Amino acid sequence: MAVQPIGANASSGQTATADAQQAAARRLATPVSLARSYTGTGTNAHDWHFHLTLEGDDEATTRPSRFAPAEDKDISGNRWTAVPQRAPSTAPDPQWPAHPTAQVVDLGSGCGREPRLAGLAADRAEPQEHGRPDLTGRSFTLASVGGTTSPPPGQVDLGPNVVVFDPSMPSASIQRKLDAIFAEQEKNQFGGQRYAVLFKPGTYFNDVNVGFYTQILGLGSTPDAVTINGAVHVEADWFPPNNATQNFWRGAENLSVNPVGGADQWAVSQASPYRRMHVRGDLRLDDGGGWSSGGWISDTKIDGQVRSGSQQQWISRDSQFGSWTGSTWNMVFVGVEGAPAGTFPDPPYTTIGQTPVVREKPCLQVDESGDYRVFVPALRSNTSGVTWEHDSAPGAALPIDQFFIAKPGATADQMNAALTAGKNLLITPGVYHLDQPLHVTRPDTVVVGLGIATLVPDGGITAIDVDDVDGVKVAGLLIDAGTTSSAMLMQVGAPGSSADHSANPTSLHDVFFRVGGAAAGKARTSLVVNSNDVIGDHLWLWRADHAADDSHVGWSSNTADTGLVVNGNDVTVYGLFVEHFQKAQVAWNGNGGRTYFFQNEMPYDVPDQAAWMNGEIAGYAAYQVAPEVTSHQAWGLGSYCFFSTNPSVACSHAFEAPTAPNVRFHDMVTVSLNHQGTITRVINDVGETTPAGTKPVNLVRYP
């Protein structure tokens, strides 16, 4: 996660009409008894601390609803009332010039402080300590809000953490359930609760506020089959002031939104995919100008304007925008209709007209008879725009009876038995401890997680092992390292794999890796790709820099050498986020590799230079292409350092690659956040040293 704030809080944007304002009614979630306490204390640049343990205070954590839903008996009349919303207008934002310049406010040393840019005059006059918001005088409701009860005979049991809505349900009842889930998940960054909220085709009048480990999913064949009149949004109220740099692990997929006030808000950072959505209005990617650190949009249509606000970096793939405004360091567009022209570094837009090869993420749907299925999109080449605007996307719908539905408590042995029997896997929301790897041996196997389903490999094993076969699809999973170090968390293809999978590659969609944070996890490497032609479609590999407890992070606590190792040929990755590993973040050894967007932070907690040497070279490159590689391409790459434990530490270069005619890098940026350490060169021996003032060093091409 990036820590450098960009700018100050913006004022409120558009509001609803005067009549709507008079009719507005904001509701807090009904207070319930405190289910448990939660205490979090992180490290380095992201120290934070809050308690949920005080008694006698009935304040709830949910943001008031954006509008009052229709009363139960009146839902058929489609009566609903809007209230003012913070949202962007279509006019340019004077706070966010295309290439902003600002000075860093020096907040002094100490692990409770973050670097931040000067914004409004008040911010410059009185810099605040934003790394450790003090919420000790407040109480928050955390209630258990289980999902479906046992289904009627003949219907699918999706487990206790899946909530299914249909348009015949009273809007107010739906809103109460949504508010209860959000109340539990708003601050639950390292908790074990997981939820998938599913909307059957139809129209709804609701405010859907999306917290941690919550997936919002429409079940129609196109996004327009499910319409939310209201909002599907992410806020940053829990981490003042409007700080979205830790808004991870959530998602919205396959539905449409008619946003109140004309604009919706998706203020997130890593691992928060926004897929196959349709917004009939604008979309803002920060919360009122508060800090934010990059994310993902794909197969999505935004009728109005996308406003990046304070986002430091972002990738959009195969989408359609009315327009885009805003930039900071690294904004990448691949196959996006309505994207700005490529003008890196001023503004820092990297624009590629078509996506060379891609498969969209599989998703759960219901058919016309109400039966569940998993839609598996087809492989496509040289694409742009959305897949679904004029008809259903190309692909195949697999009946749900072809899936083993894993519910909390399912074992690795049960899941492997199902795989051996020829079943696919649908892993419902929960945390699954594994005592053996999930072994995928059959071509075209589909493994889909709902609600950020989480796999924990115990005893130092690998969580997922995929054989060198055609067409495996793995999607929607968080692999969380166990406390005994694993050699790797996931492997695609055995070492030495050589088969040609270009006609039907394996693809990984929204697959996330975490080492430390919830526990003192350890893993030498997170993901190893040995197969050829693999497609990575939004990956975040994270060695935690903050945690629920200080013992869960630290140079000797959550140890991890490398995030991604690519040994296969012709591997393509869109949206590669890799952070804080202790050696090379990415080691690319195969030929023909392509990366579209790379976001990286080097480890914060390097104790001293002697502890971080690659032979005679100071530090490790964030993105390292092996000397024997003869062909490689990469577009839109950013690497940042924040050596907060010891600012005297330096890294010799962020990117490392052989000098060869077919090895090409495009649009690179390095930054020293608050000048905590230095990156001496951008790539190899080329590029300037990062200066003071959190100023980017840009390099348009190499060689």
Which residues are known to be catalytic? 601
Dihedral pair phi/psi, residue 360, rounded to 5°: -70, 165
CA pair distance 340, 510, nearest whole angstrom: 25
DSSP 8-state secondary structure symbol assigned to residue 402: G
Comparing CA positions, the residue from 644, 548, 648 lying closest to residue 602 is: 644
Q: Who contacts 186 (Cβ-Cβ below 8 Å, separation ≥6)?
A: 61, 62, 140, 209, 211, 212, 237, 238
Q: Are 268 and 287 in contact (CB under 8 A)?
A: no
What element of type H or E holds 469? none
CA pair distance 96, 310, nearest whole angstrom: 8
Tokens representing residue 253 in the block:
């997929």
What element of type H or E holds 284? strand 282-284
CA angle 504-510-515, nearest 5°? 120
Across the chain, how many H-helices and E-strands are there?
Answer: 4, 49
Q: What's the one-letter identity of residue 611?
A: A
CA pair distance 16, 10, nearest whole angstrom: 18
DSSP 8-state secondary structure symbol assigned to residue 22: H
CA pair distance 676, 617, nearest whole angstrom: 19
CA pair distance 682, 403, nearest whole angstrom: 47
Q: What's the one-letter identity of residue 465?
A: D
CA pair distance 315, 321, nearest whole angstrom: 13
Q: Are 595 and 626 in contact (CB under 8 A)?
A: no
CA pair distance 672, 642, nearest whole angstrom: 6
